[in-house]
Amino acid sequence: MTDNNFILEVKNLCVFYGGIQAVKDISFGIKKGEIITLIGATGAGKSTTLRAISGLLKPREGEILLEGRSLKNIPPYEVVKKGISHAPEGRKIFANLTVRENLELGAYLRRDKPAIGQDMERVFGLFPRLKERIKQNAGTLSGGEQQMLAIGRALMSAPKLLLLDEPSLGLAPLLVKAIFEVIKEINAKGVSIILVEQNAYQALKIAARGYVLETGKITMTVTAEDLVTNEELRKAYLGG
């Protein structure tokens, strides 16, 4: 029986890249309104898991359920329609398009023009810098601004579930803090979030729980408190 409180459930997921198994039989779930985080070293299978959820990769085995319904064989552009938005690793903003066009593309499937306008204003509320640069080509933005644009663009599809892949990568500490504040703010508006992070400490501080991945397997489920109480854990997985 499926628990209706779960917005997304991943069950026994196995994903391969060619002949190499990147994700080995992992299971986890996220409830409506939660933030959860996937943490672990590079190559542990975090991004692969997100890519399987958004339909970019086809799982070899296992199930992904969005509000109880399987996402099997649903192409990425349909997954967006069902309410999952993915801000991918490396931002992947459209450098040859303007900031406005990038945001408009985020709302590609929506036809409700007034609501799209409101959502764009909401994004500008979160990231005022983007509004200043609205007519600029996205390729001319700084790294931090590009990250803001990637998150803003993902929000433009009005998702129920947001997948964020390393939003703090390569950003200055002050900016990292600001980005995490915004993630909390987005979550407060009712969007569930799966956060993939290398910055495990920061991520766990805002997440309900974290799943530690090691070479494609979930080895541990942790909370922010575990960081305080469990010295060993901190040393082993969280670098300090």
Partner 1 sequence: MQEFLQQLVNGVSWGSIYALIALGYTMVYGVLQLINFAHGDVFMLGAFFGFYFSRWTKIAQEPTLFGFFATLLFAMAACALVGVIIERAAYKPLRERPRLTALITAIGVSLLLENGGQLLFGVDPKFFPSLISETRLYESANLVISNLPVIILVVSLALMLLLRFIVMKTTIGKAMRATAFNREAAALMGINTNNVISFTFLLGSALAGAGGILVALTYPKIDPLMGLLPGLKAFVAAVLGGIGNIPGAVLGGMILGVSETMVAGYISSTLRDAIAFALLVVILLVKPTGLLGSRVGEKV
* Candidate residues 19, 96, 231, 240; the one interacting with partner 1 per rule CB under 8 A: 96
Give, to the nearest 10 degrees, the angle between helix 173-188 and helix 113-126: 140
Minimum Å gap between C-beta 194 and partner 1 is 14
Residue 93 in contact with partner 1, rule: CB under 8 A: yes
Residue 17 in contact with partner 1, rule: CB under 8 A: no
Residues 175-214: x/- map of binding to partner 1 (CB under 8 A)? ----------------------------------------
Q: Which one, 104 or 214, has the nearer CB to partner 1?
A: 104
Residue 54 in contact with partner 1, rule: CB under 8 A: yes
Residue 59 in contact with partner 1, rule: CB under 8 A: no
What span, in angstroms and rounded, lies between the C-alpha atoms of 179 and 173? 10
What span, in angstroms and rounded, lies between the C-alpha atoms of 110 and 93? 19
Q: Which one, 64 or 212, has the nearer CB to partner 1?
A: 64
Minimum Å gap between C-beta 105 and partner 1 is 5
Locate 115 and state its tokens. 């609501």
Contact 208, 23 (CB under 8 A): no
Residue 80 in contact with partner 1, rule: CB under 8 A: yes
Phi, psi of 162 (to 5 degrees): -110, 130
* Candidate residues 63, 104, 214, 226; the one interacting with partner 1 per rule CB under 8 A: 104
Contact 8, 193 (CB under 8 A): no
Q: Which one, 146 or 202, has the nearer CB to partner 1?
A: 146
Residue 134 in contact with partner 1, rule: CB under 8 A: no
Q: Which one, 72 or 92, has the nearer CB to partner 1?
A: 92
End-to-end CA distance of the chain: 40
Minimum Å gap between C-beta 199 and partner 1 is 21
Residue 235 in contact with partner 1, rule: CB under 8 A: no
Contact 145, 133 (CB under 8 A): yes
Residues ≥6 apart with Cβ < 8 Å to 15: 21, 22, 23, 45, 48, 49, 51, 52, 57, 59, 60
Which residue shows structure tokens 């810098």?
Answer: 129
Minimum Å gap between C-beta 115 and partner 1 is 15
Residue 71 in contact with partner 1, rule: CB under 8 A: no
User: How many amino acids of this chain bind partner 1 (CB under 8 A)?
Assistant: 26
Q: Exposure pattern of 155-178 as b/e (b: 16+ CB <10 Å)?
A: bbbbbbbbbbbbbbbebeeebbeb
Binding site for partner 1 (CB under 8 A): 54-56, 75-77, 80-81, 85-86, 88, 90, 92-97, 101, 104-106, 108-109, 153, 157
